[in-house]
Amino acid sequence: MSDFLELMVSVGETGGIYALVALAFLVTLRPTGVFNFALGEWAGFGAFIGVVAVVDFGLPYIIALPFVIGAAALLGWVAERLTVRPLVERDAPILSPILALLGVMVMTHEGIVFFFGTSNQFAPSPLGGGRVVLGPFIGSSQGFLIIAVTAIVFLAAWYFFERTIWGRAFEAVAIDRFAAGLVGVNLRLTSALAFAAGGAVAGLAGLLQSPLTSASYLMGLPLAIKGFSALVIGGMGRIEGALLGGLLLALLERLVLRYAPIPSGFALGVPLLLLILFLLVRPSGLLPSPSGR
């Protein structure tokens, strides 16, 4: 039983990261229709900014956190302003902004290599590295932190999209961009905010991930693949889909690692198999968007 509960904590830990990356994709994708492949690398960017702030500058974590989120949001904002917006405004084919962001993705990746090198960099956990017993649950302190932060972020995202006028505006743009523009939604600002928010959430995910595996220039792509696998599994219509997909993906990965007699490297294949399975059987994901949309 305690074994099972420990498994649950570790699923919450990795699943929370996946869910956050999925959320980053989702908040960008819904109002803009642009799939931002660069988000994985932006998570890596967040991790390294965290290392710089905490290790190099010795800032307390509570100050480093908004710093990282702000830097990643700024990156998103700037990328939208410089690459996506000009293309959207001149009615370029839908593939153009996606390609431009691929360019941005490679630039981010190479930038990380240039500034931080190709060796892994230790990233401390704000709660120290120890193991924690929380009632019946046992896990790493960072794991509990990730679960808590994921819960807070998703609650905030849910509140934003369901309860605030700005969130409704995002939804309206997602449903019908033209009509939303007609009724006074500021499309430019929505698009910029969507990219900034996506960047912020991805940067946060990278920051949370880094104490587990160190900050590495290679961390971006696997995070991106897991994030969008989670998104396809959970469904792209709703915020909850990202959370469910992330947790489910992490659970299956853990189960395969524990019970299937394959090398651990092949666990990377799990998201791909799930992705293809879901595209075949249930392309709308487990939680499809509410009807009529």
Partner 1 sequence: MTRRSILVWLLGAGLLVACTFALNDYTGDIFRKLLLTATLALSFNFLFGITGQLAFSHVAFYGIGAYAIVIFAYQIGWPLPIAFLAALAIGLVLAFVVAIPSLRLEGFFLGLASLAFAQIFTVVLVQGGEITGASDGLSGYVAPVILGIRFSGQNYLYAIIGLFLATLAVLLAIDQTYFGRACRAIRDNPEPAASMGINITKTKILVFVLSSTLAVIAGMFYAYADRYVSPFVFDLDYMFLLFFMVVIGGCGRYAGAIIGATVLFLLPEILGGIIGKRHLFFYGLFVVLAILFWPDGLAGLFDRIMRSVMPRRPPATRGQTGAAVLPLLPDSAKREALAPQAAPLLRVRGLSKRFGWLVAVEQLDFDLYPGEILGIIGPNGAGKTTTFNLLAGVIAPTAGSARLVEREMLGLPPHRVARWGIMRTYQHNRPFIGLSVVENVLVGAHTRFEGRLFEVRLRRIEAETRAEARRILELVGLGELADADVRRLSFGQGRLLEVARALIGRPRAIMFDEPAAGLTPPELERLGAIIRWIGGQGIAVLLIEHDMNFLLPLADRAIVLNFGRKIADGTPDAICADPQVIEAYLGMVERQRVTTA
| Binding residues vs partner 1 (CB under 8 A) | 35, 37, 82-83, 86-87, 92-93, 95-96, 98-100, 102-107, 109-111, 113-114, 221-222, 224-225, 228-229, 232, 263, 265-266, 268-269, 271-272, 275-276, 279-280, 283, 291-292
Q: Which is nearer to partner 1, 54 or 88 (CB)?
A: 88
* Nearest distance from C-beta of residue 221 to partner 1, angstroms: 7
Q: How many CA atoms lie within 13 A of 159 on its CB side?
A: 6
The two tokens of residue 204 are 């946060």
Q: Which is nearer to partner 1, 66 or 103 (CB)?
A: 103
Does residue 241 contact residue 216 with C-beta atoms inside 8 Å? Answer: no
Q: Which is nearer to partner 1, 147 or 287 (CB)?
A: 287
Distance CA 13, CA 259 (A): 19
Distance CA 88, CA 283 (A): 27
Query: Which of these, 248, 257, 293, 256, lies nearest to 275 by C-alpha position?
Result: 248
Q: Which is nearer to partner 1, 141 or 289 (CB)?
A: 289
Element (H, E) at 133: strand 131-134
Q: Which is nearer to partner 1, 104 or 244 (CB)?
A: 104
* Nearest distance from C-beta of residue 170 to partner 1, angstroms: 19
* Nearest distance from C-beta of residue 5 to partner 1, angstroms: 30
Does residue 118 contact residue 217 with C-beta atoms inside 8 Å? Answer: yes
* Nearest distance from C-beta of residue 201 to partner 1, angstroms: 18
* Nearest distance from C-beta of residue 118 to partner 1, angstroms: 11
Distance CA 153, CA 179 (A): 29
